[in-house]
Amino acid sequence: MILHLKIWRQKDSQSPGKMVDYTIDDISPDVSFLEMLDILNEELLKKDEEPVAFDHDCREGICGLCSLHINGRAHGLEQGITACQLHIRSFKEGETIYIEPWRAKALPVIKDLIVDRSAFDRIIQAGGYISINTGSAPDANAIPIPDKNVTQAFEAADCIGCGACVAACKNSSAMLFVAAKVSHLALLPQGQIERQLRVKKMVAQMDKEGFGRCTNTGACSFECPKGISLSHIARLNREYLSATLTSNY
Protein backbone atom coordinates (compact mmCIF):
# COMPACT_ATOMS: atom_id res chain seq x y z
CA MET A 1 0.00 0.00 0.00
CA ILE A 2 0.98 3.61 -0.58
CA LEU A 3 0.00 6.14 2.07
CA HIS A 4 0.49 9.90 2.28
CA LEU A 5 1.20 11.10 5.80
CA LYS A 6 0.83 14.59 7.18
CA ILE A 7 2.58 14.53 10.56
CA TRP A 8 2.89 17.25 13.18
CA ARG A 9 6.57 18.06 13.75
CA GLN A 10 7.64 20.22 16.68
CA LYS A 11 11.21 20.43 17.97
CA ASP A 12 10.28 21.13 21.59
CA SER A 13 7.60 22.74 23.74
CA GLN A 14 8.97 26.23 23.07
CA SER A 15 9.24 25.95 19.29
CA PRO A 16 6.43 26.41 16.76
CA GLY A 17 5.28 23.27 15.00
CA LYS A 18 3.98 22.46 11.53
CA MET A 19 2.56 19.62 9.47
CA VAL A 20 5.19 17.85 7.35
CA ASP A 21 4.38 15.63 4.36
CA TYR A 22 5.73 12.10 3.99
CA THR A 23 4.93 9.29 1.59
CA ILE A 24 5.39 5.66 2.51
CA ASP A 25 4.97 2.87 -0.02
CA ASP A 26 4.98 -0.91 -0.13
CA ILE A 27 3.54 -1.02 3.38
CA SER A 28 1.72 -4.20 4.36
CA PRO A 29 -1.95 -3.74 5.30
CA ASP A 30 -1.39 -6.14 8.20
CA VAL A 31 1.11 -4.01 10.13
CA SER A 32 -0.10 -1.89 13.01
CA PHE A 33 -0.19 1.91 12.91
CA LEU A 34 2.81 2.22 15.21
CA GLU A 35 4.76 -0.33 13.16
CA MET A 36 4.10 1.86 10.15
CA LEU A 37 5.63 4.80 12.02
CA ASP A 38 8.61 2.60 12.92
CA ILE A 39 9.12 1.82 9.23
CA LEU A 40 8.87 5.51 8.36
CA ASN A 41 11.47 6.35 11.01
CA GLU A 42 13.85 3.72 9.65
CA GLU A 43 13.60 5.37 6.24
CA LEU A 44 14.19 8.81 7.76
CA LEU A 45 17.28 7.58 9.63
CA LYS A 46 18.71 6.17 6.39
CA LYS A 47 18.39 9.68 4.95
CA ASP A 48 20.03 11.20 8.07
CA GLU A 49 16.76 12.92 8.93
CA GLU A 50 15.27 13.33 12.39
CA PRO A 51 12.81 10.48 13.16
CA VAL A 52 9.28 11.25 14.27
CA ALA A 53 9.01 11.18 18.07
CA PHE A 54 5.95 9.34 19.37
CA ASP A 55 5.05 7.67 22.65
CA HIS A 56 4.45 3.94 23.10
CA ASP A 57 5.14 1.07 25.47
CA CYS A 58 2.98 -2.06 25.63
CA ARG A 59 1.50 -1.95 22.10
CA GLU A 60 -1.36 -4.07 23.46
CA GLY A 61 -3.91 -1.38 24.35
CA ILE A 62 -3.01 -1.43 28.04
CA CYS A 63 -0.61 1.42 28.81
CA GLY A 64 -2.38 4.25 26.98
CA LEU A 65 0.84 5.94 25.88
CA CYS A 66 0.09 5.83 22.13
CA SER A 67 -1.85 9.08 22.29
CA LEU A 68 -2.32 10.06 18.64
CA HIS A 69 -4.93 12.14 16.90
CA ILE A 70 -5.48 10.31 13.60
CA ASN A 71 -7.62 11.97 10.94
CA GLY A 72 -9.23 14.17 13.59
CA ARG A 73 -10.14 11.32 15.97
CA ALA A 74 -8.45 10.21 19.17
CA HIS A 75 -6.71 6.89 18.43
CA GLY A 76 -8.16 6.84 14.91
CA LEU A 77 -11.49 6.19 13.25
CA GLU A 78 -12.18 2.80 14.84
CA GLN A 79 -13.94 2.74 18.18
CA GLY A 80 -12.85 0.93 21.33
CA ILE A 81 -9.16 0.61 20.48
CA THR A 82 -5.93 2.50 21.07
CA ALA A 83 -3.64 3.71 18.28
CA CYS A 84 -1.34 0.70 18.71
CA GLN A 85 -4.28 -1.63 17.97
CA LEU A 86 -5.13 0.18 14.75
CA HIS A 87 -3.96 -1.56 11.55
CA ILE A 88 -3.13 -0.17 8.14
CA ARG A 89 -5.88 -2.29 6.56
CA SER A 90 -8.30 0.24 8.05
CA PHE A 91 -7.12 2.78 5.45
CA LYS A 92 -7.49 2.94 1.68
CA GLU A 93 -4.76 2.73 -0.92
CA GLY A 94 -3.29 6.19 -1.49
CA GLU A 95 -5.17 7.74 1.43
CA THR A 96 -3.85 10.84 3.18
CA ILE A 97 -3.56 10.39 6.95
CA TYR A 98 -3.29 13.33 9.34
CA ILE A 99 -1.35 12.50 12.52
CA GLU A 100 -1.24 14.97 15.40
CA PRO A 101 -0.64 15.00 19.17
CA TRP A 102 -3.40 15.67 21.72
CA ARG A 103 -4.48 19.30 21.68
CA ALA A 104 -4.96 20.58 25.23
CA LYS A 105 -3.39 23.36 27.26
CA ALA A 106 -3.02 21.02 30.24
CA LEU A 107 -1.25 18.41 28.07
CA PRO A 108 1.46 20.45 26.30
CA VAL A 109 3.47 19.03 23.41
CA ILE A 110 6.97 17.91 24.39
CA LYS A 111 8.16 16.95 20.91
CA ASP A 112 6.39 16.00 17.69
CA LEU A 113 3.59 13.60 18.75
CA ILE A 114 4.55 13.32 22.45
CA VAL A 115 2.60 15.28 25.05
CA ASP A 116 3.29 15.86 28.74
CA ARG A 117 0.59 14.01 30.70
CA SER A 118 2.11 14.61 34.13
CA ALA A 119 -1.04 16.58 34.98
CA PHE A 120 -2.81 13.21 35.25
CA ASP A 121 -0.13 12.00 37.65
CA ARG A 122 -0.59 15.04 39.88
CA ILE A 123 -4.36 14.47 39.97
CA ILE A 124 -3.79 10.87 41.09
CA GLN A 125 -1.24 12.01 43.67
CA ALA A 126 -3.79 14.46 45.07
CA GLY A 127 -6.19 11.74 46.17
CA GLY A 128 -6.14 8.55 44.15
CA TYR A 129 -5.02 6.28 46.94
CA ILE A 130 -6.23 4.42 50.05
CA SER A 131 -4.60 4.29 53.49
CA ILE A 132 -6.40 1.26 54.90
CA ASN A 133 -4.35 -1.89 55.47
CA THR A 134 -6.32 -4.69 53.82
CA GLY A 135 -3.78 -7.40 54.62
CA SER A 136 -3.06 -10.08 52.06
CA ALA A 137 -5.18 -10.73 48.97
CA PRO A 138 -7.36 -13.38 50.70
CA ASP A 139 -8.15 -10.91 53.50
CA ALA A 140 -9.21 -8.20 51.08
CA ASN A 141 -11.27 -10.65 49.04
CA ALA A 142 -13.12 -11.73 52.17
CA ILE A 143 -14.94 -8.38 52.32
CA PRO A 144 -18.43 -8.82 50.81
CA ILE A 145 -19.16 -6.29 48.05
CA PRO A 146 -22.43 -6.06 46.07
CA ASP A 147 -22.08 -7.43 42.55
CA LYS A 148 -23.32 -4.15 41.05
CA ASN A 149 -20.57 -2.22 42.83
CA VAL A 150 -17.93 -4.70 41.72
CA THR A 151 -19.01 -4.44 38.09
CA GLN A 152 -19.01 -0.64 38.12
CA ALA A 153 -15.71 -0.45 40.00
CA PHE A 154 -14.06 -2.76 37.46
CA GLU A 155 -15.39 -0.62 34.62
CA ALA A 156 -13.94 2.51 36.21
CA ALA A 157 -10.64 0.75 36.88
CA ASP A 158 -10.33 0.03 33.15
CA CYS A 159 -9.24 3.66 32.60
CA ILE A 160 -5.69 3.63 31.24
CA GLY A 161 -5.17 7.40 31.47
CA CYS A 162 -4.47 7.79 27.76
CA GLY A 163 -6.08 11.23 27.52
CA ALA A 164 -8.42 10.46 24.63
CA CYS A 165 -11.29 11.91 26.68
CA VAL A 166 -9.44 15.22 26.99
CA ALA A 167 -8.49 15.22 23.31
CA ALA A 168 -12.08 14.53 22.24
CA CYS A 169 -13.66 17.17 24.47
CA LYS A 170 -14.23 20.60 22.92
CA ASN A 171 -13.22 22.13 26.27
CA SER A 172 -10.36 19.71 26.98
CA SER A 173 -12.10 18.50 30.12
CA ALA A 174 -10.59 15.73 32.24
CA MET A 175 -13.88 14.89 33.94
CA LEU A 176 -14.12 11.33 32.62
CA PHE A 177 -10.57 10.54 33.75
CA VAL A 178 -11.11 11.99 37.22
CA ALA A 179 -14.56 10.42 37.45
CA ALA A 180 -13.15 6.97 36.70
CA LYS A 181 -10.50 7.29 39.39
CA VAL A 182 -12.91 8.67 42.00
CA SER A 183 -15.67 6.23 41.11
CA HIS A 184 -13.38 3.20 41.28
CA LEU A 185 -12.45 3.79 44.92
CA ALA A 186 -15.78 5.28 46.04
CA LEU A 187 -17.54 2.03 45.14
CA LEU A 188 -15.26 -0.15 47.26
CA PRO A 189 -15.17 -0.45 51.07
CA GLN A 190 -11.40 0.03 51.07
CA GLY A 191 -11.83 3.52 49.63
CA GLN A 192 -14.28 4.90 52.16
CA ILE A 193 -11.86 6.54 54.62
CA GLU A 194 -10.60 9.16 52.15
CA ARG A 195 -13.82 9.23 50.15
CA GLN A 196 -14.86 12.85 50.77
CA LEU A 197 -11.36 14.29 50.92
CA ARG A 198 -10.36 12.38 47.80
CA VAL A 199 -12.98 13.86 45.50
CA LYS A 200 -12.42 17.41 46.74
CA LYS A 201 -8.64 17.23 46.33
CA MET A 202 -8.72 15.54 42.92
CA VAL A 203 -11.26 17.99 41.49
CA ALA A 204 -9.27 20.91 42.90
CA GLN A 205 -6.10 19.59 41.28
CA MET A 206 -7.92 19.05 37.99
CA ASP A 207 -9.00 22.69 38.01
CA LYS A 208 -5.51 23.81 38.98
CA GLU A 209 -4.02 21.98 36.00
CA GLY A 210 -6.14 24.05 33.61
CA PHE A 211 -8.49 21.43 32.19
CA GLY A 212 -11.76 22.80 30.79
CA ARG A 213 -15.29 22.33 32.09
CA CYS A 214 -17.56 19.43 31.21
CA THR A 215 -20.59 20.08 29.01
CA ASN A 216 -21.81 16.45 28.88
CA THR A 217 -21.66 16.16 25.09
CA GLY A 218 -20.50 12.54 25.49
CA ALA A 219 -17.51 12.79 23.13
CA CYS A 220 -15.19 11.65 25.93
CA SER A 221 -17.01 8.38 26.55
CA PHE A 222 -17.50 7.77 22.82
CA GLU A 223 -13.78 8.08 22.08
CA CYS A 224 -12.61 6.30 25.24
CA PRO A 225 -10.83 3.10 24.12
CA LYS A 226 -12.21 1.33 27.18
CA GLY A 227 -15.77 2.63 26.75
CA ILE A 228 -16.03 4.14 30.22
CA SER A 229 -19.58 5.37 30.79
CA LEU A 230 -20.73 8.92 31.43
CA SER A 231 -22.49 7.53 34.51
CA HIS A 232 -19.16 7.84 36.31
CA ILE A 233 -19.20 11.60 35.71
CA ALA A 234 -22.65 11.67 37.30
CA ARG A 235 -21.23 9.79 40.30
CA LEU A 236 -18.30 12.21 40.49
CA ASN A 237 -20.73 15.14 40.63
CA ARG A 238 -22.74 13.46 43.39
CA GLU A 239 -19.59 12.61 45.34
CA TYR A 240 -18.31 16.17 45.04
CA LEU A 241 -21.62 17.74 46.05
CA SER A 242 -21.94 15.43 49.04
CA ALA A 243 -18.37 16.09 50.14
CA THR A 244 -18.81 19.85 49.78
CA LEU A 245 -21.98 19.88 51.88
CA THR A 246 -20.94 17.47 54.62
CA SER A 247 -17.15 17.29 54.81
CA ASN A 248 -15.26 19.06 57.57
CA TYR A 249 -12.03 19.08 55.58
pLDDT band at 133 (very low <50, low <70, confident <90, very high): confident
Which has the minimum average pLDDT: 138-142, 151-155, 216-220? 138-142
> Domain boundaries in the chain?
3-111, 118-246
Q: What is the pLDDT of residues 41-68, one digit of tens each?
A: 999 999 999 999 999 999 999 999 999 9
Structure-model confidence comparison of residues 94 and 247, the more confident one:
94
- Nearest Cα neighbor of 74 from 174, 181, 163 is 163
pTM: 0.92
Instruction: Convert the pLDDT of each residue in 71-117 to its tens digit.
Output: 999 999 999 999 999 999 999 999 999 999 999 999 999 999 999 99
Does 194 have pLDDT greater than 80? Answer: yes
Between the alpha carbon of residue 90 and those of residues 54, 60, 97, 210, the distances in Å are: 20, 17, 11, 35
- Which CATH architecture fits 3-111? Roll (3.10)
pLDDT digits (tens, 9 = 90+) for 8-47: 999 998 999 999 999 999 999 999 999 999 999 999 999 9
Cα gap 239→28, rounded to integer Å? 49
219: which residues sit within 8 A by CB, 6+ positions away? 168, 169, 170
Reduce the DSSP state of residue 189 to 3 states and report it: helix
How many residues does this entry show for the chain? 249
* Cα four-point dihedral sign 15, 48, 59, 225: positive
- Helix 195-209 crosses helix 175-186 at what angle (to 10 degrees)? 170
CATH fold of 118-246 reads Fumarate Reductase Iron-sulfur Protein; Chain B, domain 2 (1.10.1060)
Q: Is the model's pLDDT at 137 over the cut of 80? A: no
